[in-house]
Amino acid sequence: MIRFAVLGRAAALAILFSGAFTVSARAQEVSDAQLAAAREAIASLNVTDRYDNILPNLAERLKAQFIQASPNFQEQISNVVDEQALALAPRRADLEKEAATIYAKSFSVEELKAISTFFNTDTGKKLLTNQPLVSRELVRAAEIWANGISRDLTSQSSEKLRGVIDATPIQAPVVDTGSAEAPAADAPAKPAPTPAPAPKP
């Protein structure tokens, strides 16, 4: 049992050290100037604002689960979960760092500075503010356009094909009689011979 505990601690330490080395190696891939420019860019773009509600939503979901299991301890559950959520709030900086690293790897320092410069202007801020509305309107316009194109394509193609199909003579289908010969048409019946006159007495 002691051996398993020692092995477990050794494995945990190995994982922690490997994670630390991975983060360190990843951080070394970009320079401090790139990270600084990337932070300014993501701040001007409000890139991570959409993730602000992740921790509060997780806390509310966890409280609901605990309260459902132990409804008599609702107040204690809420207090404990809120306290732990606040303790985890500083880890929001980890997400900012990851976002900055991603942008630093994707753009040069000059490009990041250009992004920051533009999106800090009134025009850039207006673009960010109006982008969701513009995107919805664009999707709606594309749907209307596609419906019109589909209607006209169907109508015009049908009209053209109607002229081609109607002008083609219709051929009678060939009946396959197999190897048996087709029965000959009945010949007209010959008139019955006139009976001979009876001999006179």
- pTM for this structure? 0.57
Q: How does pLDDT run across 147-200, given as a tens digit for each residue? A: 999 999 999 999 888 878 876 665 656 656 555 555 554 555 555 555 555 555
Where does residue 46 fall: left (phi above 0), alpha (psi -120 to 50 degrees), or beta otherwise? left
* Tens digits of residue pLDDT in 130-151: 999 999 999 999 999 999 999 9
Domain assignments of the chain as residue spans, ordered by start:
32-120, 122-164
Q: List % helix, strand, coil for the chain (3-state, nearest 5).
A: 75, 0, 25
